[in-house]
Structure 1
Amino acid sequence: MNLLKSIFTWWNGATIGARFTIGRRGVFIGQDDTGNRYYEAKDNSDSYDDRKRRWVIYEGYAEASKVPAEWHGWLHHTFVEPPTREALPRKAWEKDHQPNLTGTIHAYKPKGSLARGGERQAASGDYEAWKPE
């Protein structure tokens, strides 16, 4: 089943064509905590501005928000060295990376949301519904 998914879908990891191209032209650089794998081109033959191309192959569903900040910076050439060689310094107030959960069962649902039943607490200055006269 995984072989068929990789042939016919692009949202489950990478297609066979992408894996073939990356395997032929790329060098494995590292892997993040969620299992995404990162690659860099061996040379500048297919680059746009004399920088080596960089790729990510997602673990599971392909969603860009699954890439942590340190790897995102490396993918976009903000950092020269990948996080496997030079770790991004973390501040004490920084939270752990979380992917975008919108549209999933883990999405944030505030009080009063229709997804939580639509019940909300009454406010002191609550509105009154308009009634035609």
Structure 2
Amino acid sequence: MGILGKIFTWWDGATIGTSIALRSAKRVGEDGLGNIYYTGKALPDGRLRRSVIYVGANDASRVPPEWHAWLHHSIDDLPDDSLPPVRRWEKEGKANLTGTADAYRPAGALEKGGKRAAATGDYEAWSPDAA
């Protein structure tokens, strides 16, 4: 992406303004997806500002839970230092797929043909003419 793209776009990586603001920040870590995490200037309450620069599209659902906890000051230390190791039954996080071709579409969705199983039981549709 060219310099104009960096100035005017926010949806694919950091803008030039963010890049300038992060010059004084300290890089503290990187997650498995390649997102980079920083601490910066102090907030009014004394805590350090915490930031993330996404690799690829800026989508908050691409931040793993442990780093989300760190970003929101739920844990003080970096996730690698303060959390227990990943258990073998834990699944990897996935980005939100809503709006993509890989999104979940139940039976009856228009993208799956719009046909669904007939309703069963004693369901009877309301009609304004029924008395």
TM-score range, shorter chain: 0.7 to 0.9
Matched letter for residue 28 of structure 1: R
Matched letter for residue 100 of structure 1: N
Residue 54 in structure 1 maps to residue 25 in structure 2: no
| Range 8-17 or range 90-99, more displaced | 90-99
4+ aligned runs moved over 4 Å, structure 1:
126-133
CA RMSD, 1 decimal: 2.2
Shift of 1:56: 0.3
Matched letter for residue 25 of structure 2: G
Among 63, 71, 74, the residue aligned to 1:78:
74
Of all paired residues, the percent bearing the same amino acid is 49
Residue 119 in structure 1 maps to residue 115 in structure 2: yes
Task: Report the counterpart of residue 7 of structure 1 in structure 2.
Answer: 7
Shift of 1:90: 3.5
Matched letter for residue 16 of structure 1: I
- Shift of the 2–59 alpha-carbon distance from structure 1 to 2, 3 Å rule, reads farther
- TM-score normalised by L of structure 2: 0.84
- TM-score normalised by L of structure 1: 0.82
Task: Report the counterpart of residue 101 of structure 2 in structure 1.
Answer: 105
| Structure 2 CA distance for aligned equivalents of residues 126 and 120 of structure 1 | 18
Matched letter for residue 3 of structure 1: I
Unpaired runs of 5+ residues, structure 2, are none
| Structure 1 CA distance for aligned equivalents of residues 14 and 44 of structure 2 | 22
Task: Report the counterpart of residue 39 of structure 2 in structure 1.
Answer: 40
Task: Report the counterpart of residue 69 of structure 1 in structure 2.
Answer: 65
| Structure 1 CA distance for aligned equivalents of residues 36 and 11 of structure 2 | 15
Per-residue deviation, residues 54-92 of structure 1 (Å, max 9, x unmatched): 100111111111111000011111111112434444345
| Range 89-98 or range 58-67, more displaced | 89-98
Shift of 1:128: 5.6
**Which SS does the other structure have where 2:38 is aligned?**
strand
Unpaired runs of 5+ residues, structure 1, are none
Residue-pair matches, total: 129
